[in-house]
Amino acid sequence: MDRAETIRIAENWISYYREYELTGKLLADGDELNDLVYSAPKKALEIVFEILSKINQHPEDSLFQQLAAGPMEMLLVYQGEAIIELVEHEAARNAAFRLLLGGVWQSTTRENIWQRVQQSRSQAW
């Protein structure tokens, strides 16, 4: 998957959830990112970074909330071992990503991964 595909999927995700905010309806094929969480977690994380760069980076923003509680949380739950080093690296250099991690709940994330997330994130919100 190249950069153009990353941007396309990120923009589709944003459009998908903005449409949901307006209509209350989810389109059938609107969220490719969820599939990538399972099949290509590092690519999914790249798309999370891309989405983050394109949305309001505030806990009050619904897309920011959805990104934290949706794909980011799913990645940590299902692919934590595969991505935790990338998460830590990005959090060390990106304040918006640290803030995003503050909106992730532990859910069923393994304890050893969750401890590393807690060390990498800003305050929980």
Kindly report, residue by residue over 8-39, the tens digit of the pLDDT: 999 999 999 898 888 887 766 667 999 999 99
Mean pLDDT, rounded, of the chain = 94
pLDDT value for 115: 98
Mean pLDDT across the stretch 32-51?
Answer: 97
What does the pLDDT read at residue 26? 72
The residue-averaged pLDDT of 75-88 equals 98
Give buried/exposed letters for 75-111 (b at 16+ CB in 10 A, else e): bbbbbbeebbeebeebbeebebbbbbbbbbebeebee
46: helix, strand or coil: helix
Q: Reduced to 3 states, what is the DSSP secondary structure of residue 122?
A: coil
Instruction: Note the pLDDT of residue 77.
Output: 98
Tell whether the torsion through CA atoms of 82, 102, 64 and 56 is positive or negative.
negative
State yes or no: pLDDT of 59 exceeds 90: yes
Q: How many CB atoms lie within 10 A of CB 7?
A: 15
What is the model's pLDDT at position 30? 64
